[in-house]
Amino acid sequence: MRKNIIDNLTELHNEPHLVDLSIFTLFAECVNGELTIYPFQFEKDEGVVYCIQIDGDMYVGSSKSLASRIKAHHTEMINGKHFSPIMQRLYNEKKRFKVYIIMRCYGKRIERAEDFVTRLLTPSMNVRLPRGKYAEHNETIWSMETDLDRMIKREHKKRVMNTVVRCPECDKKLELTIKLKDE
């Protein structure tokens, strides 16, 4: 399942603002200012990474109580006080948006998953993150230091052996490093 989600997101990331999220679950929809939340079965302690889309512009967030979070976004937009000025402006113009569930997560993984999806989709309505595929930024939002990376580093360490070898003539210790070649 993980590979499928990552493949889908990677395929979507061609250019910012040209992302079709219709392959994901539509959770809520606002049309003419009226919010509709569709039935969705959550499991205990489950959180989600979601995307709010207004035409081609996106906002990525995460929540363990998605219905409450979307209602809060909607209320802020109706009152003209949403923290994202871009989202507020677009909502004021269009009075519509869609909310998609991108990824389901458990525990602390939700923050890492949100960072991953944010980096991948480059949403234009997130206020503290780089916008667009070629945006300049000074800080790392998401690091590739994942469980898979750590496993690869461990395997690499196993392939390098440090051994003490003695000189056959003077019996002096010589350090020898042997690198095993990958097949």
Q: How would you write the pLDDT of the chain (183 residues) with one tens digit per residue?
A: 444 554 555 444 434 446 778 889 999 999 999 999 999 988 888 889 999 999 889 999 999 999 999 999 999 999 999 999 999 999 999 999 999 999 988 877 788 788 888 878 888 888 765 444 434 444 444 444 445 555 555 555 555 545 556 677 777 776 655 555 554
- Interaxial angle between packed helices 109-121 and 2-12, expressed in degrees from 0 to 180 and rounded to the nearest 10: 30
Q: Is residue 128 part of a domain?
A: no
Q: Are residues 92 and 168 in the same domain?
A: no
Q: In this structure, what token pair is assigned to residue 78?
A: 């109706």
pLDDT for position 89: 93
Instruction: Find the domain containing 110 and state its range.
Output: 2-121
pLDDT for position 181: 55
Q: Is residue 69 part of a domain?
A: yes
* Cα separation, 87 vs 178, whole angstroms: 57
Q: Are residues 94 and 155 in the same domain?
A: no
Indicate the residue among 79, 103, 121 that finishes a domain: 121
pLDDT for position 119: 79
**HSE-CB of 90 using CA atoms within 13 angstroms:** 21
Q: Is residue 39 part of a domain?
A: yes
* Cα separation, 130 vs 175, whole angstroms: 48
CATH number at residue 116: 3.40.1440.10
pTM of the prediction? 0.63
Q: Is residue 137 part of a domain?
A: no
Identify whether the C-beta of residue 8 lies closer than 8 Å to the C-beta of residue 117: no
Q: Is residue 126 part of a domain?
A: no
Q: Are residues 41 and 117 in the same domain?
A: yes
Cα separations (Å) of 32 from 59, 71, 73, 75, 94? 19, 15, 15, 14, 8
pLDDT for position 37: 96
Q: Are residues 9 and 65 in the same domain?
A: yes
Q: Is residue 13 part of a domain?
A: yes
- Please name the residues in contact with 64: beta carbons below 8 A apart, sequence gap of 6 or more: 45, 46, 47, 110
Identify whether the C-beta of residue 91 lies closer than 8 Å to the C-beta of residue 32: no
* Cα separation, 178 vs 16, whole angstroms: 47
The total domain count for the chain is 2
**What is the gyration radius of the CA atoms in the chain, in angstroms?**
24
Q: Are residues 105 and 152 in the same domain?
A: no
Q: Is residue 49 part of a domain?
A: yes
Q: Is residue 131 part of a domain?
A: no
Cα separations (Å) of 147 from 89, 112, 143, 151? 40, 12, 11, 6
Q: Are residues 159 and 91 in the same domain?
A: no
Identify whether the C-beta of residue 137 lies closer than 8 Å to the C-beta of residue 122: no
pLDDT for position 80: 94
Q: Are residues 165 and 90 in the same domain?
A: no
Q: Are residues 33 and 113 in the same domain?
A: yes
Q: Are residues 169 and 111 in the same domain?
A: no
Q: Are residues 103 and 153 in the same domain?
A: no
Q: Are residues 172 and 114 in the same domain?
A: no
Q: Are residues 152 and 106 in the same domain?
A: no
